[in-house]
C-alpha cells in the first residue's frame, strides 16, 4: 500500500515492527492528508505537526532498539476535550479557546506509554453538547461521504478524521451516543465502554455520571487495540472500577453459535425510522443469524422515558460542571465589564454558544429549589428503571442489537431551529449511558444516497469483549468497513 495514511493500525504495526516502514514516513503521510482534506472537512481544531514528527522520530529509535509497545509509532488524534499537556484543549468553545492544560489526561498518559504519536486535537460540539458537530466555536465539521451533511456528534471530528484517513485511530467521548452516532454516520467503528472501564481523569466534564472515553477506528481489530491501550483502573478517578482488563484483541473469529442476540420490541416501533435504516438493520440481524447466533425478542419497557430522563440529568450535571467557567480561575474573561457581576455575566454570555446556554438554563432550572425532586429526582428514578430493564433483558440474551440512529446523516443546518428533533436522534443510544452498559457501532449498510448506516450492539456491564467478538464476526462476513468516501473533490 503506497498511501501509508490509508493503513489500519494493525497493518501499520506489523510493517513498523518489520522495519518495512518508519513512523516518520507514516506520520508525514498522515500530516499531508490533513493538509489536503482538513480544509474542506474541518475535523481538526489543532494540528501538532512538529511535535508529532518529534514523537515519530522517538518511536523509530525505540523500534530500532527493539523496545516496542502496542502502539509504537502509530499516529492517533484526540477529541478536544481530553487534556493534553502543552497543547490547547478548547472543548470546541470560545471560553477555552486559549486554554493549555498543565497535565495529560490519564488516557493520554496511557497512549504515550503505548508508544502512540499524537498528531492533534479534533473538532466537536461545544462541551460535547450536540449530535451534529455544528455547535462548535470553530465551525461545523463536514461528513466526508457528503460534505453538505453532518458527521454526527459530538465526536464528529474524531469520526471524520478516521474515515478520511487523517489519523489511524482516534479517541472520543460518549455521554449519550457521541462516539457511536458519528461512527455510524461516517462508516467507522466506535465503542462506548462500560462506565468506569476507562479513566475520566483529564476529561473535561459535561455530565459526570454519563461521560465515558472510548475509541473510534477503521475496523473492529483496531478498535480493540485502542481499548486495550486506554482501559483499566485509575485511582485518580473515583468512578473508575478496579477490575482486570482482558485482551480485547483476543476475540475469537469462530462462529456465534453460543450467543443469543436480543431485539428490543420498543425500538422496532419507534416513529420516524428511515426505511433504509430499517432495511439495513433487518439484513444485519439476518447475517448475524447466519453466523450462528440465535435471535430473541426482548423488552426495554421504559425506553419511551429515556430521552426525557436524559435531558434532565445531563443538563443538570452540565449546569453544575460548567459553573467553574466564571472568568476568574482560567479560560476566557470579559475585560470590558465594570463590576464583578457584569464580568461573570458577560464572560459566560460571550464564551458559551447557544446550545450550551440552553442546556445550562434547563439544568439550572431542574436543580433549583422546589423543582429538584420533581425533575432531577424523578429522572434519576427513571434511570434506575432503565438500568433494571437492561438487567432483565440480558437474562434472556448476551447482546442487544439495534440501529444507532433513526436516520442517515442529515443536511448541515437542517435541524438548526429544531433542537428537539436533534435530541430525539439519540433515542437508540442514550439508554446505554443511563444504564452504564457498553455500546458499539459497526458499519452495516448504506442508504440510497450512499450514506453509511451503523449497527449498534449493547452488552452487560464489562462485556466489551463479547461486543467486539460479534462485531468482528459480522465485519468479516461483510464488506461495509472496506468502503471509503471519495475525497478527490474535497479541499
Multiple choice CATH, 4-256, 3.40.47.10, 2.60.40.10, 3.90.1300.10, 3.40.1360.10: 3.90.1300.10
- The residues annotated as belonging to the active site are 79, 154, 178
Residue 116: per-residue pLDDT: 98
* Cα–Cα distance, 472 to 249 (Å, whole number): 10
Q: Quickly state the pLDDT bin for 252 (edges 50, 70, 90).
A: low
Instruction: Give, for 174, the enclosing helix (H) or strand (E).
Output: strand 169-174
Rg of the chain in Å (alpha carbons): 21
| Range with lowest mean pLDDT among 69-83, 411-425, 446-460 | 411-425
| Range with lowest mean pLDDT among 260-274, 367-381, 446-460 | 260-274
- DSSP string covering 332-357, please? ---SS-SSHHHHHHHHHHHHS-HHHH
Mean pLDDT across the chain, nearest whole number? 96
* Cα–Cα distance, 91 to 124 (Å, whole number): 7
Q: Which three cell numbers stand for residue 127?
A: 462541551
Closest CA to 146 of 414, 354, 474: 414
Which residue shows C-alpha cell 424523578? 378
Residue 424: per-residue pLDDT: 81
∠ at Cα 434 (430, 435), nearest 5°?
A: 115
CB–CB of 132/153 below 8 Å? yes
pLDDT at 445 exceeding the cut of 80: yes
Q: Quickly state the pLDDT bin for 192 (edges 50, 70, 90).
A: very high
CB–CB of 179/188 below 8 Å? no
pLDDT at 183 exceeding the cut of 70: yes
Dihedral over alpha carbons 462, 465, 468, 474 (to 10 degrees): -120
pLDDT in tens, 338-360: 999 999 999 999 999 999 999 99
Q: Quickly state the pLDDT bin for 1 (edges 50, 70, 90).
A: very low
| Range with lowest mean pLDDT among 99-108, 410-419, 468-477 | 410-419
Residues in the chain: 491
117: helix, strand or coil:
strand
- DSSP string covering 225-247, please? HHHHHHBS--TTSTT--------
pLDDT in tens, 8-42: 999 999 999 999 999 999 999 999 999 999 999 99
pLDDT in tens, 117-139: 999 999 999 999 999 999 999 99
Mean pLDDT confidence for 308-316? 97
Alpha-carbon distance values, 404 to 49, 414, 429 (Å): 34, 20, 6
Sheet containing 75-79: which strands, arranged edge to edge? 44-47, 117-122, 75-79, 169-174, 212-217, 189-192, 439-446, 452-458, 399-403, 260-264, 294-298
pLDDT at 491 exceeding the cut of 70: no
Alpha carbon of residue 359 to chain centroid: 20
Residue 255: per-residue pLDDT: 82
Residue 490: per-residue pLDDT: 81
Q: Which three cell numbers stand for residue 95?
A: 471560553
Instruction: Give, for 47, the enclosing helix (H) or strand (E).
Output: strand 44-47
Q: Quickly state the pLDDT bin for 363 (edges 50, 70, 90).
A: very high
* Cα–Cα distance, 383 to 366 (Å, whole number): 16
For the chain, which residues make up each domain, given as ranges? 4-256, 304-380
Closest CA to 89 of 171, 29, 182: 171
Amino acid at each position: 500500500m503506497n498511501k501509508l495514511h490509508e493503513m489500519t493500525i494493525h497493518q501499520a504495526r506489523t510493517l513498523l515492527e518489520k522495519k518495512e516502514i518508519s513512523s516518520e514516513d507514516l506520520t508525514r503521510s498522515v500530516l499531508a492528508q490533513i493538509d489536503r482534506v482538513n480544509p474542506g472537512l474541518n475535523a481538526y481544531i489543532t494540528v501538532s505537526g512538529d511535535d508529532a514528527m518529534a514523537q515519530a522520530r522517538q518511536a523509530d529509535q525505540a523500534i530500532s532498539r527493539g523496545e516496542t509497545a502496542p502502539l509504537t509509532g502509530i499516529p492517533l488524534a484526540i477529541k478536544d476535550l481530553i487534556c493534553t499537556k502543552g497543547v490547547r484543549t478548547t472543548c470546541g468553545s470560545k471560553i477555552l479557546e486559549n486554554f493549555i492544560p498543565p497535565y495529560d489526561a490519564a488516557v493520554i498518559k496511557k497512549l504515550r506509554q503505548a508508544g502512540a504519536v499524537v498528531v492533534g486535537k479534533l473538532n466537536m460540539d461545544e462541551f460535547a453538547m450536540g449530535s451534529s458537530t455544528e455547535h462548535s466555536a470553530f465551525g461545523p465539521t463536514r461528513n466526508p461521504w457528503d460534505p453538505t451533511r453532518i458527521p454526527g456528534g459530538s465526536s464528529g471530528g474524531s469520526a471524520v478524521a478516521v474515515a478520511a484517513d487523517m489519523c489511524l485511530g482516534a479517541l472520543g467521548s460518549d455521554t449519550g451516543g457521541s462516539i457511536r452516532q458519528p461512527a455510524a454516520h461516517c462508516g467507522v467503528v466506535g465503542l462506548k465502554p462500560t462506565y468506569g472501564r476507562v479513566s475520566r481523569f483529564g476529561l473535561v466534564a459535561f455530565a459526570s455520571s454519563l461521560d465515558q472515553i472510548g475509541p473510534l477506528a477503521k475496523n473492529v481489530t483496531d478498535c480493540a487495540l485502542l481499548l486495550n491501550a486506554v482501559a483499566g483502573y485509575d485511582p485518580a478517578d473515583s468512578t473508575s472500577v478496579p477490575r482486570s482488563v482482558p485482551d480485547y484483541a483476543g476475540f475469537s473469529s469462530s462462529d456465534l453459535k453460543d450467543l443469543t442476540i436480543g431485539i428490543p420490541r420498543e425500538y422496532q416501533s419507534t416513529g420516524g425510522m428511515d426505511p433504509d435504516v430499517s432495511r439495513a438493520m433487518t439484513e444485519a440481524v439476518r447475517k448475524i443469524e447466519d453466523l450462528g447466533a440465535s435471535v430473541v425478542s426482548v423488552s426495554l419497557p421504559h425506553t419511551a422515558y429515556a430521552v426525557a430522563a436524559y435531558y434532565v440529568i445531563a443538563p443538570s450535571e452540565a449546569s453544575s460542571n460548567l459553573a467553574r467557567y466564571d472568568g476568574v480561575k482560567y479560560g476566557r474573561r470579559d475585560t470590558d465589564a465594570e463590576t464583578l457581576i457584569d464580568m461573570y455575566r458577560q464572560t459566560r454570555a460571550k464564551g458559551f454558544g447557544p446550545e450550551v446556554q440552553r442546556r445550562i438554563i434547563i439544568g439550572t432550572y431542574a436543580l433549583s429549589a422546589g423543582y429538584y425532586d420533581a425533575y432531577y429526582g424523578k429522572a434519576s428514578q427513571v434511570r434506575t428503571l432503565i438500568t433494571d430493564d437492561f438487567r432483565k433483558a440480558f437474562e434472556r440474551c448476551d447482546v442487544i442489537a439495534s440501529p444507532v440512529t433513526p436516520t442517515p446523516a442529515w443536511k448541515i443546518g437542517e435541524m438548526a431551529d429544531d433542537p428537539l428533533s436533534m435530541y430525539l436522534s439519540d433515542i437508540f443510544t442514550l439508554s446505554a449511558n443511563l444504564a452504564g452498559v457498553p455500546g458499539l457501532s459497526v458499519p452495516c449498510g448504506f442508504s440510497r444516497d450512499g450514506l453509511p448506516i451503523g449497527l449498534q450492539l449493547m452488552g452487560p456491564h464489562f462485556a466489551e469483549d463479547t461486543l467486539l467478538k460479534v462485531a468482528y464476526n459480522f465485519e468479516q462476513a461483510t464488506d461495509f468497513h472496506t468502503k471509503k468516501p471519495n475525497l478527490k473533490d474535497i479541499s
